[in-house]
């Protein structure tokens, strides 16, 4: 028995990759060393594109009760708010820019979905101990209570986290981008009515004790504090030291919160020196690790899974040659790298301990806050937007290729809702000047149908752009037609509908 894809690791990255590939009809096996789900939170916040992926796999509504909208992101110094920023309720992908979430709840939903797909085998309690590949496939050897097992697959995704066995077996080292701090992470659950005075999301920019607190889903709260150089992690996690650090206005007392997890983490900035060797790909923390100041670690892993899944799908179905798989690293590495670098910058800024630099930073933030209030500065605190792709599987002509395709609110046949639910997913041609299929040759139409592509006309009697986002996008890009990829990035655009055959032709060349 040879599987199409074997996935090492059943963390969030592995779960999403398994679901997307299993849904596409491929035989998938997941090998996970733990016997059951970890059931404790690491992730605290997800961004709008991740909610769009939950929407895609069909669990957005179910995880709703485990989420909490964080309307404000504050930076403070000893209780004085330096900067208070509103979080956008409707960001690019049609969901709030940041949403607080309780990880065990969404992992339970992803687990249920993966296990409901007949073509996916989830094998928990299997630790991978060897990996070999040849021209036809990859052999994974794993160990469990039942003994040793050998699994064959055409492709492997190494989503086995920061200490990735797969990465090491491939002989791929990490580049260290320079961030290295020990932090104490304290997760608690309120045992009384939640305290209304606790900030929903606040970074403590205090040189004496850099830290943060946030509401995590509706019922939990996290605090994190820097562990100082010279202080041991073992000492920091002792109850006495935990409650000492929590004895502050934005903290807690033992009669208000029970602690569900206290752990010391090394916040690092690491990038794998390569993301692929032949038939084996790295994804998630196995490929990159970042300090969590922008809450982008798992989000980046989700982006990896979303990117590699549709490419493997096309290759396994014989709709693309294996060279399509080269675009995975070319697209994802620069994007993840930019995200790591920005996470480090934010971390260094909020954790500054040099008194002169702290004074300068505080003055700058206060001035920015003032300017925001007067309407003379951008309302966005975190100017960083996850970049698109400059290289990879995109048409190199036309504006907008490689940038995110936003999720508008649209209406069709009396139904109003988010674009993906109303218009559909996968490859899509979107035109605002007539039926796109009418300008394609029979051969191109056949090609498009084989890809599972759809064609949507914007404007009555077709799809109505209720929120105006699509019209705004097409005006900004100066295009009447565009092609969207399954992972919600733009493949390419054409100023006129007549440019579409050239775009589709380019795509056929790239896949052939």
Site of interaction with ligand FAD (CB under 6 A)? 8-14, 31-34, 42-46, 127-128, 159-162, 165, 185, 265, 284-285, 292, 295-299, 301
In 332-432, DSSP assigns E strands to 409-412, 415-418, 428-431
Shortest distance, CB of residue 127 to ligand FAD, whole angstroms? 4
- The alpha carbon of residue 141 and the mean position of all alpha carbons in its chain are separated, in whole angstroms, by 29
CA dist., res. 162 & res. 296, Å (int): 15
Beta carbon nearer to ligand FAD, 45 or 429: 45
- Residue in the block written with tokens 């309690």: 125
Shortest distance, CB of residue 364 to ligand FAD, whole angstroms? 25
Shortest distance, CB of residue 101 to ligand FAD, whole angstroms? 8
Residue pair 459/432 in contact (Cβ under 8 Å)? The answer is: yes
CA dist., res. 496 & res. 148, Å (int): 59
Q: 450-454: which pairs have CB atoms within 8 A and are 24 or more residues apart?
A: 450/319, 451/314, 451/319, 451/426, 451/427, 452/426, 452/427, 453/426, 453/427, 453/428, 453/429, 454/423, 454/424, 454/426, 454/427, 454/428, 454/429
Half-sphere exposure of 133 (CA within 13 A, CB side): 18
SS (H, E, C) 241-270: HHHHHHCCCCCCCCCCEEEEEEEEEEEEEE
Closest by CA position to 131, among listed 146, 103, 152, 111: 152
Beta carbon nearer to ligand FAD, 51 or 439: 51
Beta carbon nearer to ligand FAD, 46 or 246: 46
Shortest distance, CB of residue 15 to ligand FAD, whole angstroms? 7
Shortest distance, CB of residue 370 to ligand FAD, whole angstroms? 29
Beta carbon nearer to ligand FAD, 47 or 484: 47
Shortest distance, CB of residue 417 to ligand FAD, whole angstroms? 26
Beta carbon nearer to ligand FAD, 188 or 494: 188
Q: 341 exposed, middle or buried (CB, 10 Å; 0-12, 13-18, 19+)?
A: middle
Beta carbon nearer to ligand FAD, 45 or 404: 45
- Residue in the block written with tokens 């920023």: 85
Angle made by CA atoms 224, 230, 233, in degrees to the nearest 5: 45
Shortest distance, CB of residue 162 to ligand FAD, whole angstroms? 6
Beta carbon nearer to ligand FAD, 44 or 402: 44
Helix (H, G, I), strand (E, B) or coil at 115: helix
Residue pair 23/312 in contact (Cβ under 8 Å)? The answer is: no
Shortest distance, CB of residue 186 to ligand FAD, whole angstroms? 10
Beta carbon nearer to ligand FAD, 43 or 428: 43
CA dist., res. 427 & res. 438, Å (int): 17
Beta carbon nearer to ligand FAD, 9 or 462: 9
Shortest distance, CB of residue 235 to ligand FAD, whole angstroms? 19
């Amino acid at each position: 028995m040879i599987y199409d894809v074997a996935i090492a690791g059943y963390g969030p990255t592995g779960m999403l990759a398994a679901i997307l590939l299993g849904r596409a009809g491929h035989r998938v096996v997941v090998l996970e060393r733990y016997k059951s789900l970890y059931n404790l939170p690491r992730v605290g916040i997800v961004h709008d594109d991740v909610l769009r992926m939950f929407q895609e796999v069909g669990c957005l509504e179910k995880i709703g009760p485990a989420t909490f909208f964080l309307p404000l992101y504050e930076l403070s110094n000893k209780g004085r708010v330096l900067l208070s920023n509103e979080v956008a309720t409707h960001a690019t992908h049609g969901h709030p820019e940041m949403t607080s979430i309780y990880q065990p709840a969404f992992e339970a939903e992803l687990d249920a979905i993966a296990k409901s797909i007949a073509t996916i085998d989830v094998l928990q309690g299997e630790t991978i101990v060897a990996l070999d590949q040849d021209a036809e496939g990859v052999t994974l050897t794993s160990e469990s209570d039942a003994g040793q097992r050998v699994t064959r697959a055409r492709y492997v995704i190494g989503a086995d986290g920061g200490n990735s066995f797969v990465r090491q077996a491939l002989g791929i080292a990490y580049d260290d981008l320079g961030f290295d701090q020990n932090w104490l992470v304290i997760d608690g659950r309120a045992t009384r009515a939640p305290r209304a005075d606790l900030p929903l999301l606040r970074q403590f920019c205090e040189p004496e004790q850099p830290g943060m607190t946030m509401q995590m889903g509706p019922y939990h709260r996290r605090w994190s504090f820097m562990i100082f150089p010279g202080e041991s992690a073992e000492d920091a996690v002792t109850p006495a030291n935990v409650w000492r650090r929590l004895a502050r206005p934005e903290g807690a007392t033992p009669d208000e919160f029970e602690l569900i997890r206290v752990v010391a983490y090394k916040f690092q900035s690491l990038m794998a020196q390569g993301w692929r060797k032949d038939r084996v790909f790295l994804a998630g923390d196995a490929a990159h690790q970042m300090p969590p100041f922008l809450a982008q670690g798992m989000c980046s892993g989700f982006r990896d899974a979303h990117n590699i899944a549709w490419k493997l799908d096309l290759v396994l179905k014989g709709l693309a040659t294996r060279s399509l798989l080269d675009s995975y690293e070319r697209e994802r590495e620069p994007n993840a790298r930019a995200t790591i670098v920005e996470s480090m910058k934010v971390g260094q800024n909020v954790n500054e301990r040099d008194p002169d630099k702290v004074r300068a930073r505080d003055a700058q933030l206060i001035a920015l806050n003032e300017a925001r209030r007067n309407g003379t500065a951008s309302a966005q605190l975190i100017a960083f937007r996850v970049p698109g792709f400059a290289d990879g599987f995109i048409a190199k002509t036309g504006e907008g290729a490689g940038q995110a395709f936003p999720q508008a609110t649209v209406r069709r046949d009396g139904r109003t809702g988010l674009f993906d639910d109303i218009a559909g997913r996968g490859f899509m041609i979107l035109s605002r000047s007539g039926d796109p299929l009418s300008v394609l040759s029979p051969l191109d139409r056949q090609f498009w149908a084989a890809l599972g592509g759809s064609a949507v006309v914007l404007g009555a009697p077709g799809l109505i752009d209720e929120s105006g986002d699509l019209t705004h996008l097409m005006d900004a890009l100066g295009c009447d037609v565009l092609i969207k990829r399954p992972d919600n990035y733009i493949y390419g655009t054409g100023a006129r509908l007549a440019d579409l055959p050239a775009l589709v032709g380019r795509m056929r060349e790239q896949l052939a």
